[in-house]
Amino acid sequence: MRRLRNVKIVATLGPSSSDYETIRALFEAGADVFRLNMSHGSHAEQAARHAIIRKIEADTGRPIAILADLQGPKLRTGVFAKGEEELAEGAAFRFDLDPAEGDKTRVCLPHKEIFAALEPGASLLVNDGKIRLKVETCGADFANCTVTTGGTISNRKGVNVPDVVLPLAALSDKDRADLEFACELGVDWLALSFVQRPEDVQEARALAKGRAAILSKIEKPAAVKAYPAILAASDGIMVARGDLGVELPVHSVPPIQKQLVRGARAAAKPVIVATQMLESMIESPMPTRAEVSDVATAIYEGADAVMLSAESAAGEYPVEAVTTMDSVAKSVEADPTYREVIEASRRVSRTTIADGIVAAAREIAEATDIHAICCFTQSGTTASLVARERPSVPIIALTPIPATLRRLCLTWGVHCVRTETIDRFKMAVVWAARAAREYGFATETDQIVVTAGVPFNVKGTTNILRVAPCDERLIFRTDPE
Is the separation of the CB atoms in 274 and 239 below 8 Å?
yes
The DSSP line for 22-89 is HHHHHHHHT--EEEEETTSS-HHHHHHHHHHHHHHHHHHT---EEEEE------B---BTTSEEEEPT
Is residue 76 annotated as a catalytic residue, yes or no?
yes
Single out the catalytic residue among 8, 132, 217, 220.
217
Quick one: which of 135, 81, 141 has its CA closest to 111? 141
Alpha helices by DSSP H, listed for 301-375, are 310-313, 318-333, 336-344, 353-367
Helix 198-208 vs helix 173-185: crossing angle, to nearest 10 = 50
**Contact, 226 vs 167, CB < 8 A?**
no
CA distance 308 to 300: 18
Catalytic one of 76, 174, 339, 346: 76
Residue 29: which residues within 8 A CB-CB, separation 6 or more?
319, 322, 323, 326
Determine whether 217 is an active site residue: yes
Could you list the beta-strand ranges (E) of 70-141: 84-87, 92-96, 106-108, 123-126, 131-139
Pick from 24, 40, 32, 13: which is nearest to 272 by CA? 32
Of the residues 3, 35, 132, 407, only one is catalytic, namely 35
Determine whether 265 is an active site residue: no
Short-list 434, 305, 452, CA closest to 382: 452
Q: How many CA atoms lie within 13 A of 245 on its CB side?
A: 13
Side-chain half-sphere CA neighbours of 250 within 13 A: 5
- Active-site annotation holds for 130: no
* Rounded Cα gap, residues 286 and 317, in angstroms: 9
Task: Look at strands 236-240 and 271-274 and give their pairing.
Answer: parallel
User: What H or E segment, with its residue span, contains residue 381?
Assistant: helix 381-388
Radius of gyration of the chain measured on its C-alpha atoms: 24
Under 8 Å between Cβ of 122 and 166? no
| Set 12, 275, 399, 451: catalytic member | 275
Please list, in sequence order, all residues whose beta carbon lies within 8 angstroms of the beta carbon of residue 346, skipping any fewer than 6 positions away. 389, 390
- Positions marked catalytic: 35, 76, 217, 275
